[in-house]
Amino acid sequence: MLGALRERLVGYYRTRARTEKERLKKRMFELETGRCGWLVDLPSQFLFGSDLRMLATIYLTDKWNAHWYAEHYEELFHKIRHNKINLLEIGVGGCEDPKMGGNSLRMWRAYFPKGLIYGADIYDKSFHDRGRIKTFQGNQVDTEFLDNLASEIGRIDVIIDDGSHLNEHVVFTFSHLFPHLAEGGVYAVEDAQTSYWEEYGGNETNRNDSSTAMAYFKSLTDGLNWQEFRGSYNPTYFDLHIKSIAFYHNLIVVRKGSEGDARSGASGPGPGCRVGGR
């Protein structure tokens, strides 16, 4: 029954004209951020708490119905939904308007009923601080800000970069924040399509340009197998602590392990012929 209700509500929203969608967004935003925000929060959590796609639709984030990240996040997070996690999202949305944005923070708060939700933005977004949501103002390429942020939050189980999307910023922030991510944690980079867009420092012609986010994360995949390298090699922090890297449409997800997760190097290939056969 809830599935049918979801399809009807999502279908209704998707078929509306753009101007009507904007009116719906404005009304929902006013309701969510007003004194009666619980009228949205309580029914949403009770009816659709485990349905991230529906929550994304209710809270009008672009993680569904625009981008299609919610289905991947459901697969990643459904087992920890009821854990007491700390989630940090870089980029609150709404640009310089202090009252705009915060949609995905409210979505995460509904999805993780015991989680603490943190947002970081270059603009002041303290308007959205409510209940289990807290925001910080600062630049995602400011090392002092990032260190202070990590220190104040403590254990960080999930980091989502939905910030400037500038390739230089994406790589810098990951390099600096990944060591602060808890073992077993997840680091997600959204809107990786900017790796091909020149105005964001991307490069469509040379897709292996190491300054782009996609090329940078692709370069880390070899490190998953560093123990099989036959030459002299000193593993990096990322080699030792990245457990997996997954690439989806415009989304990159890195899982963190520990040095103890590493397996001993293989002695040789598995059963089968090395070259050809009889």
pLDDT tens-place string over residues 146-175: 999 999 999 999 999 999 999 999 999 999
240 is a domain residue: yes
175 is a domain residue: yes
Q: What is the pLDDT of residue 29?
A: 60
8 is a domain residue: no
CA 16: distance to chain centroid? 28
pLDDT digits (tens, 9 = 90+) for 31-78: 666 665 655 676 666 566 689 999 998 888 999 988 999 999 999 999
Q: What is the pLDDT of residue 58?
A: 87
Give the integer Cα–Cα distance in Å for 51 and 70. Answer: 9
Angle between helices 167-177 and 213-220 (to 10 degrees): 40
Output 259 or 86, whichever has higher pLDDT.
86
Q: 157: phi > 0 → left, psi -120 to 50 → alpha, else beta; which?
A: alpha
Q: 3-state class of 64 per DSSP?
A: coil
Handedness of CA 65, 66, 67, 73 (dihedral sign): negative
Q: How many domains are there within the chain?
A: 1
Residue 170 has a CB neighbour count (10 Å cut-off) of: 30
Output 199 or 25, whichever has higher pLDDT.
199
1 is a domain residue: no
192 is a domain residue: yes
Tally of helices (H runs) and strands (E runs) in the chain: 10, 7
238 is a domain residue: yes
247: CATH: 3.40.50.150
186 is a domain residue: yes
Give the integer Cα–Cα distance in Å for 85 and 108. Answer: 11
pLDDT digits (tens, 9 = 90+) for 237-263: 999 999 999 999 999 999 999 875 655
All residues at 6 or more sequence positions from 12 whose CB lies less than 8 Å from its CB, including other chains:
none
Q: What is the pLDDT of residue 262?
A: 54
Angle between helices 2-15 and 38-48 (to 10 degrees): 130
Catalytic annotation, residues: 165
57 is a domain residue: no
Say which range, 220-234, 242-256, 262-276, has the weakest mean pLDDT.
Answer: 262-276
CA 237: distance to chain centroid? 21
Instruction: Identify the domain containing residue 89 by its residue range.
Output: 66-261
